[in-house]
Structure 1
């Protein structure tokens, strides 16, 4: 065999090995729109709050090949592109805006791909109706009637709700309007009797009670034929600019957890008749609470994996396609009711809370149990630390979203935005 022939044979062997190695790496890598960093531990709590961050918390990327629609790994570049598959396995991209210092404009859109062919030219068979539910625990919620109507109109088929310390909520849940839409348990039915919701360390037993609520909801959801189950709170809304069913189809059957990034509402006054309708400004900057999103689990296989995730392979959906709108303590009354019940918390446990706003709120109620005449000192704290805090936001760090309790059906509906996204 000549030297040239031998060299050609070696190159062919190397090429086969390289292709096999790449294929193995692709098969073992998680299928995701965005590969996130690991969730920060409490030991790094000060790094996760009180600072400006770019709108994208995630360093990794997953790109989809235009030939076969399968994910392939590519190295990070200085000007990354987000690439999403279309129904015919073609792709469209949006350029990521270069950050200015530590800032980055959040690009938002309607979720309609610019190069998608008209539906009349590319008819798609109608898939079976996707059944999606929500599970949560609630205590003295703000406008829970609005919250229920919103998610029912969005396309949620059922809500599993555990009510704590709010007996006045039960007539609403038992009304003709909602009785068939909700499964209700309460703190008085011994369903979560291993944890007392009125205990002084309620902040820390909350996660244990949530775990029991989620796990029994998964069992009930399987019996009801529900395919996906979100775990969110009564101050959070699902927001989608395209159908959830499209996200499910694109990700494939091996993904068991779909995570929506959260963005935080920015209140402008102490009181509101309905924060969901009156607040229209949100941001991923200067956030006062968590920032690692909330998830839906595939009911047939997923299980509890903490309050923000379900077990199995997961993906994080880009914020312009879907997100969680978090109305964290958006009225003075909500804030007071949330933190005053923790005034007996011990110093060690309080210092372990990862959010300075939370810790300082608990400290306030411990050191000033009366709040002064008409609770003026408490109100002054809320005005400064909540309302004026978000006044520091720059205009390019704000997202405007106007909501209604009758959104477009976005669970299994046609693509399109049910409310307008725009930068401030």
Structure 2
């Protein structure tokens, strides 16, 4: 089985590519193929029923604990689980602690990413899903596998986005480039700063408090 990972700006999928699956994945993300008979994305997709056209990977969002991260893929190990993978009483019961005053559960996106079988008339539907001009894809959501999103783990993640943006550091202007409120606020700060943000300013939103609950207390 052949896999193809593509950037989110890719155009129409060509016929006869030799690929079996195509996946939305960004450079700050990894795939966690939990739930397969072996820890393998290839195995995970081979086990998908043949009548399924698209699988949804719920995303987890990283929570950084230090301000000196060099390689997030090896140094960051704490993630906030997607609500699709949490018991509802846990999600709603700890929502306030998890969001830390932010209006959204995640700082960035929360609708996961998807993989699609390569077939005729397949086309990207935004940065997270796929569309087929001739039919409605049959899709399933994976119960254990996930996308690990390493969100703003280094200050350079912010400055690299800032340097690609021609926006002015105002709330109105950054709307041209960014959809999510946290992205907009981060970019505004990045446009104004040339050195790393103090960890204490970012961490309260990025890292939820760890709450220890003792039985009988």
State TM-score, norm by structure 1: 0.38
Tell me if structure 2 keeps the 8 A contact 1:214–1:231: no
Residue in structure 2 matched with residue 303 of structure 1 by the alignment: 123
Q: Measure, in 1, the Cα distance between the counterparts of 2:61 and 2:22.
A: 22
Tell me if structure 1 keeps the 8 A contact 2:161–2:187: no
State which of 273, 277, 287 in structure 1 corresponds to 2:74. Answer: 277
1:11-60 residue CA offsets vs partner (Å, 9 max, x unmatched): xxxxxxxxxxxxxxxxxxxxxxxxxxxxxxxxxxxxxxxxxxxxxxxxxx
Tell me if structure 1 keeps the 8 A contact 2:55–2:141: yes
Residue in structure 1 matched with residue 19 of structure 2 by the alignment: 226
Residue 277 of structure 1 deviates from its aligned partner by: 0.6
Residue in structure 2 matched with residue 360 of structure 1 by the alignment: 185
Q: Measure, in 2, the Cα distance between the counterparts of 1:310 and 1:385.
A: 37
Alignment of 1:342 onto 2:135: no
Residue in structure 2 matched with residue 14 of structure 1 by the alignment: none
Alignment of 1:322 onto 2:193: no
Superposition pairs for residues 17-416 of structure 1, below 5 Å? 130-136=1-7, 210-211=8-9, 213-215=10-12, 218-219=13-14, 222-241=15-34, 242=36, 243-244=40-41, 247-248=44-45, 251-284=48-81, 285-286=98-99, 287-301=106-120, 302-311=122-131, 312-318=137-143, 321-342=144-165, 344-345=167-168, 347-351=171-175, 353-366=178-191, 368=192, 371=193, 375-376=194-195, 378-380=196-198, 383-395=199-211
Higher relative contact order (CA 8 A, sep 6+): 2
What is the total number of aligned residue pairs between the two structures? 178
Residue 309 of structure 1 deviates from its aligned partner by: 0.5
Q: Secondary structure at the match of 1:230?
A: strand
Q: Secondary structure at the match of 1:304?
A: strand
Q: Secondary structure at the match of 2:129?
A: coil
Which of the pair has more CA radius of gyration?
1
Residue 347 of structure 1 deviates from its aligned partner by: 4.7
Gaps of 5+ in 2: 82-97, 100-105, 132-136, 213-217
Q: Measure, in 2, the Cα distance between the counterparts of 1:309 and 1:389.
A: 28
Tell me if structure 1 keeps the 8 A contact 2:56–2:142: yes
Q: Measure, in 2, the Cα distance between the counterparts of 1:270 and 1:384.
A: 9
Tell me if structure 1 keeps the 8 A contact 2:70–2:154: no
Q: Residues 254 and 260 of structure 1: is their aligned pair in 2 closer, same or farther, counting only changes over 3 Å?
A: same
Q: Residues 355 and 387 of structure 1: is their aligned pair in 2 closer, same or farther, counting only changes over 3 Å?
A: same
- Bigger share in helix: 1
Q: Measure, in 2, the Cα distance between the counterparts of 1:226 and 1:252.
A: 17
Q: Measure, in 1, the Cα distance between the counterparts of 2:128 and 2:11.
A: 11
Question: What RMSD, in angstroms, separates the aligned Cα atoms of the two structures?
Answer: 2.7
Tell me if structure 2 keeps the 8 A contact 1:265–1:282: yes
Residue 336 of structure 1 deviates from its aligned partner by: 1.8
Q: Measure, in 1, the Cα distance between the counterparts of 2:201 and 2:181.
A: 10
Q: Secondary structure at the match of 1:276?
A: helix
Q: Residues 274 and 253 of structure 1: is their aligned pair in 2 closer, same or farther, counting only changes over 3 Å?
A: same
